[in-house]
Amino acid sequence: MAYFDVEVNMLLILGECEKNYRRTEQLFLECYNIKKSHMVFLRLENRLYSAIKRQKINPVINYDNNVIILAAVEVNPHVSQRELANTSGIGRSSIQRILKKQKFYPYRLILTQEFLETDCERRVIFCEWMRDAMINDSFLQNILFSDEATFTNTGHHNRHNMHYWSYKNLHWMCEVYFQHC
């Protein structure tokens, strides 16, 4: 007999004996000729109840809360989940589930730079200068490499906080002019 079948039969006999664990132990031995302690039946029942309790029904995601969250996102698509949670009283994870269920996605800002006619020539000049400067072995150690498209000594765009919620990508872009002299 498979282990799962044994557990099912143990629970059936436990119900038949009206949760009398010692009587269940005796009846199980008579029926299946398998010795199980009365504590095994108690632990099996407790494990079953704890598994049922873990399956939490979430009443937070209902029609009214969906309308509240979707209306707030429609009014201000740049609102954060934390801000929505503070203003609506709905948990952040519930808000995330509502938005995901409605196929909303937090699209990020794309920084773009204006491309001028002189840029191509300036890039070629820079590449030639870099090639000549790389003759010195320690030159590259003095360069700060970054994956940021733009940075300045007056501040930079924090794109992690710049997003909009939408069910389609609107290709939100922001032109920056920091690279040109």
Does the pLDDT of residue 22 top 90, yes or no? yes
Query: What is the overall mean pLDDT for the chain?
Result: 80
Q: Tell me: pLDDT of 1 over 60.
A: no
> Per residue in 109-119, pLDDT tens?
776 667 778 88
| Per-residue CA distances from 43 to 7, 20, 47, 83 (Å) | 11, 13, 6, 44
Mean pLDDT of 159-177: 69
Which pLDDT tens digit goes with each residue over 131-141? 888 887 777 78
Report pLDDT for 155.
53
> Span 160-175, mean pLDDT?
71
Residue 23 — pLDDT band, cuts 50, 70, 90?
very high
Name the nearest CA neighbour of 74 among 100, 99, 44. 99
Count of CA atoms in the C-beta half-sphere (13 A) of 132? 6
- pLDDT at position 123, please? 87
- Cα separation, 153 vs 165, whole angstroms: 31
